[in-house]
Structure 1
Amino acid sequence: MTDKLPPSRPKAITRRQFLVATSASAAASYMLLNRPAWAVTSDMARAGDFGELDATAGDGIDLYLENRDLLIGGQPGQAIAINGSIPGPVIRMTEGKDALIRVHNRLPEATSIHWHGILLPFDMDGVPGISFAGIAAGETFTYRFPVRQNGSYWYHSHSGFQEQRGHYGQLIIDPAKPDPVDYDVEYSVVLSDWTFENPHTVFRNLKTIEGYYNFQRPTLANLDDQMQATGMTLGEVIEKRLSWQRMRMDPTDIADVTGATYTFLMNGKTADENPTFIAEPGQRVRLRIVNASAQTFYDIRIPGVPMTVVQADGQDTKPVETDEFRIAVAETYDVVVTMPDDKAYTLFAEAMDRSGFTRGTLAPREDMSAAIPEQRRRPMLTMADMGMMMKGGMEGMKDMKGMDHASMEKQMPHPTGDELPTENLVNRIEHGPDKHGPSSITMAQSAYRRLDYPGAGLGDDGWRVLTYSQLRALERPPLRRPPTREFDLHLTGNMHKFIWGFDGKKWSESDVIRFQYGERLRINMINDTMMSHPIHLHGMWMDLYAGGNLDTNPRKHTVNVQPSELLTVDITADAPGQWAFHCHLLYHMEAGMFRTVAVVRSLEGGSIDADA
């Protein structure tokens, strides 16, 4: 194998070439995806046996990617292992130093590694067809970049469905200055989802049969269950179901892929395998939690132990004590807990749709465990969740938390050149005429801010639940200023055909989004669908409007946009090159919810030479 340094300007790749490159060679790799039970051998390694490497020390590190048979929850399957395991090793770096990482591709197909949330030159970002050509089978690629930040992040493949097969790991960057977070011990907590099915089969099932993995739909058999859960009469339940049917919607459409095929993992292990995190009574434990799932949102809690959130997406936040929080795909949260006593406590991660869970144990000794919480009833979306204004008025709005009704009639302005407001932004906008065609069929009447909304199925049991409205930057990020340009971006989808996109277009049909170099830009994301979408921008921070101001609004690399939500982010376009901008639900991204962003000299000109 030979080292292959990236060219300064990647060769242009067409969309068709990109799709062929990321899928054609994958078939051979998936043919042996699963192993029959008789193929299990006593020396077969188990998932979850990963180490730690420092990419900013000495001569860098080496990562070896290969297909490997692993026991996952006691069952044999073929994963894409990084240095022998899933997840891959925890990669540590130190702020202010240079990272050097050699990736050796021993797979029979092309691969890549994207350093999620890391600021770096665009040709080190690791997205085939956007920022480089990918790493061909049998080749080695060297990533080299300065480390300009600190915090908890992660890395993963950006090639086909490799992420679903275990191609991910955590990345921790130690600060150059003293860490503002006080703790005694720390642990990586990598949440993920695994399927023994071929991911291409999963995708085909989603495209072929709507709700293929949703076994919790309303049926005649569960009419009584719904009556008992809601307190409604039989007639009221039937009328509610008919109203959803008339809109061609399903109130149980919480997750596309569920526990019907997924095995839920914590650090590569199932709930039965129960990974343990050791801490003595009185110690402050820092848990660096990343959701490396392909599709699964998790609700995190430690019954009997409050958690203090100290970091979101690698950025220090003012401490917030909470009992539970929902972590979207690709988000990271650092929490600190104080070990109360000489007992075991369960770190419980429950799938948002309640179709399964994983767990670990926080304990003073190995081989201890605590009670596993009873799984909660799966949530159902309401008309308020979907922004449906009954009878065209304010009726039905009473359940919409966090709304300022006095500002509802204001419309979203779109000035250019002048500074835009940064506080007290409008809370609701009318959708207006639908111009997004057949690729958007679940449009709500309005989009509104949901910063105080914890998410479907949370907040009704008396526990404190973290919301975006509680996140505040510990210190004002440098060079933050008001934006002078804005545009709306609609998140659209057709569940029946499993088509996802922005503004009604799939990536293959869309144009490049242009940011002007140096500008301060606002994007108003408007979710026209009935599903949540974690949206990730590569190469640049998104400053989330969370109800604060320029000093306090948090900075994130991934923002979760809930059904019918209006969510605003401000961006400084300070990263020349081409970047990916997409939903981080893997199958949504593959189905079209992806755009290319080009940072250009002017909105009328071409791309900037990244080496200039």
Structure 2
Amino acid sequence: MSRRRFLIGASAAAGAVAFGGLSGCGRTGATGDPVAPTAEAVRRLEAQRRVANQTIVPAHLAARPTQIDLGGRIVQTWGYGDTLPGPLLRARAGDLLQVRVDNQLPADTSIHFHGIALSNDMDGVPGLTQDPIAPGGAFTYEFTAPHPGTYFYHSHSGVQLDRGLYGVVVIDDPAEPGGYDDEWVVVLDDWVDGTGRTPDDVARELGMAASGEGSESAGEMGGMDHGSMEDMEGMGDMGAETMQSDLLGGAGDVNYPYYLVNGRIPTDPVSLTAVPGRRIRLRIVNAGSDTAFRLALGGHRMTVTHSDGFPVTPRETDALLIGMGERFDVLVTLADGVFPLYAAAEGKPGYGVALVRTGAGSAGPTDTRPAELDRQVLLGTDLSPREQVRLASKSHDNYLSVDMGGTMSPYRWTLNGRAFPDAAPLAVAQGQRVRMRFRNMSMMFHPMHVHGHTFALVSGGARKDTVTVRPMQTVEVEFDADNPGQWALHCHNAYHQEAGMMTTVSYRA
């Protein structure tokens, strides 16, 4: 069994010796047996979400080898059909989604519905919440969508996310107040597959295969240097010393040949067409595997209205910094002309672009960097929630610490000093208010994602499921333990996750 294939039994064994919280804070964790994805508590909660005459929204996704046109550049990859991103899945809050997945790939696969607080047995993490979908096999994900918002789906097997195995999920609000004329879905991505390398080649180049797949943990490796610059030398075009951001520090491990907006490269960008004066809602998703994007619309300011699906107090800005796995909704009133929607690969020498057309003419060279990118830049941690989604104020019952660290040589990323699956699960109990401290002890940023829950930032209170934690910084979050099961918690850098930066939030009965 690969060290990147996790068994629930291993989780339980590790949890027997794991701390559940910081005893020095006077808070307690949880004890008892793990609540399995098939437990009665999981089934009972999903049954409570079901209602009479519930609308059923069926969908079908076939994961298969495919050929994609990135805009004059044809690549062989894996995807959900012949489009990039994959098919848009759309429902209303409270609907029952039934998504059948047929695996026509030569490898196991799965799908995770990122950001949706669904039933644990439908979370799509092989070895933790389900068996992998074998080649030639099928699996139907069936769950109630509890909250409106912008989400996305992607493979949660190996580094398959870094192929074309992703798409967007929009859960509409039946009480949507509107206030806009049209809506565009914008998906950002970094791309390598079919360009002479695959994501598995990238993993080998980073040294993941060379570091072995045994059970050696970071804590047994003679100390950690937290990704020091000495470790990053000799990495060629993947040298992290060349990927630095004033806002994020170390900006990633991989220089990609292409950066995409809605599946297109800058030399043949997609066009988004409207008329001047229209107010547009952009639903922006960063589906990248190793790249944060700084996004702006030339000649415009944006008003941020939602982060990770949940409404925030509206904030105007020139640009947004979007970590992997984060989603933002913004409103823009369009001027007359042709404008670049420009997504700079943060700390890397590349960008993606789309064109917004409201009139005749040209936007000029698509490699012209809009001035807005270097003006006001907002991060998800700068936002505050709308009052209707603010987490109720109460003291926490359980305090959990999650320290991020790692090395580039060997390529190993850790939580609390150990690499998955050796990282100790974080034990919680149903009904607890949980406070979690993310401490980044490395020189690289990490977008930390918790499955099955939306947390509140302790500073500011914005509701999120993915938060970018900058080098040597601490971010504290709180959530209510109201969705039983075994939930993955990991860095949404696909290579960091696969190299060990993952554990579980483990409900105990």
Task: Please give the range of the TM-score, normalised by the shorter of the 2 chains.
Answer: 0.7 to 0.9
| 8 A Cα contact 1:80 1:86, kept in partner | no
Q: Secondary structure at the match of 1:96?
A: coil
Equivalence for 1:61: 59
Equivalence for 1:187: 184
Residue 481 of structure 1 deviates from its aligned partner by: 3.3
| 8 A Cα contact 2:428 2:507, kept in partner | yes
1:468–1:69: structure 2 CA closer, same or farther, 3 Å change rule?
Answer: closer
Equivalence for 1:136: 134
Q: How many correspondences in the alignment?
A: 430
- Structure of higher CA gyration radius: 1
Residue 201 of structure 1 deviates from its aligned partner by: 1.5
Residue 69 of structure 1 deviates from its aligned partner by: 2.1
Equivalence for 2:80: 82
Equivalence for 2:200: 200
CA–CA distance in structure 1, aligned partners of residues 345 and 80 of structure 2: 26
CA–CA distance in structure 2, aligned partners of residues 514 and 199 of structure 1: 33
Equivalence for 1:257: 254
Instruction: Please list every run of 5 or more consecutive structure 2 residues that lacks an aligned counterpart in the other structure.
Output: 1-5, 12-53, 211-230
Aligned AA (1:213)? D
Equivalence for 2:479: 571
> 1:8-19 maps to which residues of 2 (within 5 A)?
none
> 1:499-510 maps to which residues of 2 (within 5 A)?
499-510=412-423
Aligned pair partner of 1:292 in 281, 287, 292? 287
Which string of whole-angstrom CA distances, capped at 9 and with x for unpartnered residues, describes residues 124-145 of structure 1?
1111011110211112211111
> 1:179-578 maps to which residues of 2 (within 5 A)?
179-195=176-192, 196=195, 197-207=197-207, 210=232, 211-214=235-238, 217=241, 253-259=250-256, 262-341=257-336, 343-364=337-358, 369-372=363-366, 374=368, 461=374, 463-468=375-380, 470-477=382-389, 480-482=392-394, 483-546=396-459, 548=460, 553-578=461-486
| 8 A Cα contact 1:276 1:366, kept in partner | no
1:578–1:367: structure 2 CA closer, same or farther, 3 Å change rule?
Answer: farther
| 8 A Cα contact 1:542 1:571, kept in partner | yes
CA–CA distance in structure 2, aligned partners of residues 287 and 162 of structure 1: 26
Which of structures 1 and 2 has the larger relative contact order (alpha carbons within 8 angstroms, sep 6+)? 2
CA–CA distance in structure 2, aligned partners of residues 472 and 580 of structure 1: 26
Q: Secondary structure at the match of 1:507?
A: coil
| 8 A Cα contact 2:184 2:281, kept in partner | yes
Residue 531 of structure 1 deviates from its aligned partner by: 0.4
Which string of whole-angstrom CA distances, capped at 9 and with x for unpartnered residues, describes residues 210-268 of structure 1?
334346858xxxxxxxxxxx9xxxxxxxxxxxxxxxxxxxx984321013xx3111111
1:72–1:514: structure 2 CA closer, same or farther, 3 Å change rule?
Answer: same
Instruction: Please list every run of 5 or more consecutive structure 1 residues that lacks an aligned counterpart in the other structure.
Output: 1-9, 16-55, 219-229, 231-250, 378-457, 602-612
Residue 59 of structure 1 deviates from its aligned partner by: 6.0
CA–CA distance in structure 1, aligned partners of residues 444 and 424 of structure 2: 24
Q: Secondary structure at the match of 2:389?
A: coil
Q: Secondary structure at the match of 1:509?
A: coil
Equivalence for 2:38: none
Aligned AA (1:200)? D
1:168–1:283: structure 2 CA closer, same or farther, 3 Å change rule?
Answer: same
1:71–1:479: structure 2 CA closer, same or farther, 3 Å change rule?
Answer: closer
Which string of whole-angstrom CA distances, capped at 9 and with x for unpartnered residues, describes residues 517-563 of structure 1?
110011111110000000000011111123x3xxxx11101010000
More strand by share: 2
CA–CA distance in structure 2, aligned partners of residues 142 and 469 of structure 1: 35
Residue 350 of structure 1 deviates from its aligned partner by: 0.3
Aligned AA (1:464)? Q
CA–CA distance in structure 2, aligned partners of residues 216 and 511 of structure 1: 29
| 8 A Cα contact 2:293 2:321, kept in partner | yes
1:275–1:137: structure 2 CA closer, same or farther, 3 Å change rule?
Answer: same
Which 4+ residue blocks in structure 1 deviate beyond 3 angstroms?
A: 10-15, 56-59, 208-212, 214-218, 365-377, 467-470
Equivalence for 1:417: none
| 8 A Cα contact 1:346 1:371, kept in partner | no
| 8 A Cα contact 1:290 1:332, kept in partner | yes
| 8 A Cα contact 1:194 1:263, kept in partner | yes
Aligned AA (1:337)? V
Moved more, 514-523 or 64-73: 64-73
User: What is the RMSD computed on CA atoms of the aligned residues?
Assistant: 2.6
CA–CA distance in structure 1, aligned partners of residues 182 and 249 of structure 2: 40
Which string of whole-angstrom CA distances, capped at 9 and with x for unpartnered residues, describes residues 542-600 of structure 1?
11123x3xxxx111010100001110000111111111000000000010000022111
Q: Secondary structure at the match of 1:269?
A: coil
Aligned AA (1:531)? M
Normalised by the length of structure 1, the TM-score is 0.66
